[in-house]
Each structure stands twice: as structure tokens, then as C-alpha cells.
């Protein structure tokens, strides 16, 4: 197969590029080598270096790509990964997220509509962020979908979700693909907009598609300089720098962590399958609290740093969300292969050997930016 990957030099994209190359496929990559992902010396970045001899590479922004129209006449499939991905950052860098994620997707789809092409399938990387909090259970009202948590409650240290009907606390359930879509961040809104664009256009031109809603992705190669990357990478780097970890809320907020290798495995299973017009959750199907992640890292990293459960919180963050993976298991035969303990152990080893700038300064800057725009609350400003 001949496959075009937008964002193919990014975190997930580089793993997918390598997998497809190793399986004998021809890969084309469009990537703008964003400084936030690849650092100042972009062509020396770990991710870029892993793909330079594995794909035909075009350093272009998907919004202004001069190669896109010709490439869609050569490839069998498009895997669209190029996107801005920071939930917190999206709450103030709004136009950039809408432009890159929504308009970027529309540019590809418009090219498919207007130009002769050989594309037989379109694969979109979406996010669990489209669900917002996702599915919960209320003792009185059964299955419910909580709205965004109230600032007044969180200022008092009450971080749990409430039933939208009776306002009592609810219990998180595994969120399936048929759950209500209720994004609570600009990032989540743009990801759902991407989904809507893909479904509308692909259905109209009868182009098969698959949509993957990723949970919290981690693994070797994840940016260590980007303060908007996953918490596992940030916390790991801070401990290695002997810098204090600020644990937001009460530390009991939870996420579903899935290794990047399993993400690319899921995409490849779909490429080889006969399944079309499907939407999949991709996760481990398990909840892990933030404080559990901190303890796992502290057990493995000798550091003078301590963690502090601060009670601080960010607008746009959710409390809990984990995937119901029944659909992808049934249709693609997908099961995660990398356990969280093993993945974290490998990630720590890779981080120790990686050359990167200190993350602490960038992290403080990102928090200051959110505080400036009244999107971050701690004990002093709440």
C-alpha cells in the first residue's frame, strides 16, 4: 500500500511511519516540524531522525501544502494525524487550534473533492476529549452525562462530577462510542468538528473512513520540552530535574493510559481490515489516578523532588474518562499489548538517556499563561 500520513514526523506519526515501512508499505509524510514538538533544532529531533530514511518527506504545513494535491493521486490511504493537541493551551490559543485542526482537515477533504485521486480510505485521529466527562452512573437516575464542573465547587475542593438532574455525586463508567458527545475544551470541540467534517464529506463522495478516539497516549519519543504534552512525560522530567510536581485537584482524577505502540497497532489493524465507516475508542479500558502515576514514577526515579497535592485546577480539564473498548476488540481484534508498568519503566529509561532542555521553565510559563487568562486556579487566585 501507499499511505500518506499528515503529522507523520510527530509522536504517533513517527511510530506509524516506522511500522508501515517495516511492513513493506510506501509512506509519504507531510509535517511542518512544529517547534513545540521537535524543539529548536527540528531536523535533529528524536522523532524526525527516526523517519528520515523511511518515508518521502515534505516539510509543509497542511494548511498551505503544495504537495497535497499531487500526493492524493498516488496514495491508497490517508492517515490524518496533524493537529494541535494541548487541552489547556487550546482554551486560550483558540484560533490556532481551530485553524490547524478544523481548517486543516477541511483542506484535505476539499482536495479530495476537487481533484482526481486514488484514495480508498481516510483515517482520522480523534480524541476521547469529544466526550467531555463521558458516561457516569447515578444511583437515582441511572446513566447520566455530567456537564462541566462548577468553578465554585472546585474552589471548595469538591472536584467530583455531579448528576445533571439531582446534583448528587456519580460514578464513572467506561465510555462507549454511542455515548453523548459533550466536549468541554476547545481542543475537544475541534476534534469533534474534524469528525463531523470527515463523516459529511466522505459519505457524500462514498469514501470509506475510520475514526479513532485516542485516550491518553504515552511512550518513548514523547516531547520532553513541551509543557502541554502528557502528564506522564512532564512528571517524569520534573522528577529527573529534582523539581517539585504540582498535582492538580486532589490527585484522584483519573485517565486511561495507552502506549503509542498500541495506538499504531490499532491503526494498522484497521488498514488491513475490511471494516469501513467505523468509529473506535482506543485505550486500555482501565482507569489510573494521577496520584498513582506519581507514585509509580517516584518508586523508579531517585530524586530529591517531592510531589505536592495543591488543589489547583484548570478549566477545560475533565475529572474521569476511560474507554469501553468492546467495539475495537470485536471488529478489529485489538487488545493492548503493553502494560502500564512496563511502559512507564521503558519511558523512564528513555527519558534518562534523552538530551532535552529543562521542562520546568516551560512548565511554569504554561501555568502562568493559563493563570493570566483566568483558566488556572490555585489557592492564591481562587
Domain map of the chain by residue range?
2-135+173-312+320-377, 136-172
- With 0.95 as the threshold, say if the pTM is over it: yes
Average pLDDT score over residue span 89-102 = 97
With 0-12 / 13-18 / 19 or more C-beta atoms within 10 angstroms meaning exposed / middle / buried, residue 304 is exposed
pLDDT at 354 exceeding the cut of 90: no
Q: Go through 210-234 and write b for each residue having 16 or more CB atoms within 10 A of its CB, e for each that does not.
A: bbbbbbbbbbbbbbbbbbbbbbbbb
Mean pLDDT of the chain: 95
Query: Which cell is 25 given?
Result: 508499505
Of these ranges, 7-11, 43-47, 221-225, 378-382, the one predicted with the greatest mean pLDDT is: 7-11
Q: What is the pLDDT at residue 1?
A: 97
Q: How confident is the model at residue 382 (pLDDT cuts 50, 70, 90)?
A: low
For residues 171 and 161, give the distance between their C-alpha atoms in angstroms, rounded to a whole number: 8
pLDDT exceeds cutoff 80 at 328:
yes
pLDDT at res. 253: 98
Residue 77 cell numbers, joined: 490511504
What confidence score (pLDDT) does residue 226 get? Answer: 80
Query: Mean pLDDT, to the nearest integer, of 246-259?
Result: 97
28 Rama class: left (phi>0) / alpha (psi -120 to 50) / beta? beta
Question: Over pLDDT 90: what percentage of the chain?
Answer: 91
Q: pLDDT at position 380, please?
A: 63
Kindly provide the b/e burial profile for residues 98-115, where b requires at least 16 CB atoms within 10 angstroms of the residue's own CB.
bebbbbbbbbbbebbeee
C-alpha cell, 159 = 472536584
What integer pLDDT is reported at residue 139 of this predicted model? 98
Superfamily of domain 2-135+173-312+320-377: NAD(P)-binding Rossmann-like Domain (3.40.50.720)
Per-residue pLDDT tens for 33-56?
999 899 889 999 999 999 999 999
Amino acid at each position: 500500500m501507499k499511505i500518506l500520513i499528515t503529522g507523520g514526523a510527530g509522536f504517533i506519526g513517527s511510530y506509524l511511519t516506522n511500522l508501515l515501512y517495516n511492513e513493506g508499505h510506501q509512506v509519504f509524510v507531510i509535517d511542518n516540524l512544529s517547534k513545540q514538538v521537535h524543539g529548536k533544532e527540528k531536523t535533529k529531533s528524536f522523532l524526525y531522525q527516526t523517519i528520515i530514511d523511511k518515508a518521502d518527506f515534505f516539510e509543509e504545513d497542511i494548511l498551505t501544502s503544495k504537495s497535497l494535491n499531487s500526493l492524493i493521486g498516488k496514495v491508497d490511504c490517508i492517515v490524518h494525524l496533524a493537529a494541535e493537541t494541548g487541552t489547556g493551551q487550546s482554551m486560550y490559543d483558540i484560533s490556532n487550534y481551530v485553524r490547524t485542526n478544523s481548517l486543516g482537515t477541511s483542506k484535505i477533504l476539499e482536495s479530495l473533492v476537487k481533484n482526481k485521486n486514488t484514495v480508498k480510505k481516510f483515517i482520522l485521529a480523534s480524541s476521547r476529549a469529544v466526550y467531555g466527562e463521558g458516561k457516569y452512573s447515578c444511583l437515582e437516575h441511572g446513566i447520566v452525562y455530567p456537564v462541566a464542573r462548577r468553578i465554585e465547587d472546585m474552589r471548595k475542593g469538591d472536584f467530583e462530577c455531579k448528576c445533571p438532574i439531582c446534583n448528587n455525586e456519580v460514578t464513572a463508567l467506561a465510555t462507549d462510542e454511542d455515548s453523548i458527545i459533550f466536549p468541554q475544551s476547545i481542543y475537544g470541540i475541534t476534534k469533534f468538528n474534524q469528525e463531523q467534517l470527515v463523516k459529511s464529506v466522505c459519505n457524500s463522495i462514498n469514501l470509506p473512513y475510520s475514526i479513532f478516539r485516542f485516550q491518553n497516549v504515552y511512550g518513548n519519543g514523547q516531547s520532553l520540552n513541551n509543557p502541554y504534552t502528557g502528564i506522564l512525560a512532564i512528571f517524569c522530567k520534573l522528577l529527573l530535574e529534582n523539581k517539585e510536581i504540582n498535582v492538580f485537584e486532589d490527585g484522584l482524577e483519573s485517565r486511561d493510559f495507552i502506549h503509542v505502540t498500541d495506538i499504531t497497532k490499532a491503526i494498522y489493524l484497521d488498514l488491513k481490515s475490511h471494516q469501513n465507516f467505523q468509529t473506535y475508542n482506543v485505550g486500555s479500558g482501565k482507569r489510573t489516578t494521577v496520584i498513582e502515576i506519581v507514585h509509580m514514577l517516584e518508586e523508579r526515579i531517585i530524586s530529591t523532588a517531592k510531589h505536592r497535592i495543591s488543589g489547583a485546577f484548570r478549566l477545560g480539564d475533565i475529572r474521569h474518562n476511560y474507554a469501553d473498548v468492546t467495539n475495537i476488540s470485536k471488529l478489529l481484534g485489538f487488545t493492548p499489548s503493553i502494560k502500564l508498568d512496563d511502559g512507564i519503566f521503558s519511558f523512564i529509561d528513555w527519558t534518562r538517556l534523552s538530551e532535552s532542555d529543562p521542562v520546568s521553565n516551560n512548565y511554569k510559563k504554561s501555568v502562568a499563561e493559563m493563570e493570566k487568562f483566568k483558566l488556572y486556579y490555585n489557592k492564591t487566585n481562587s
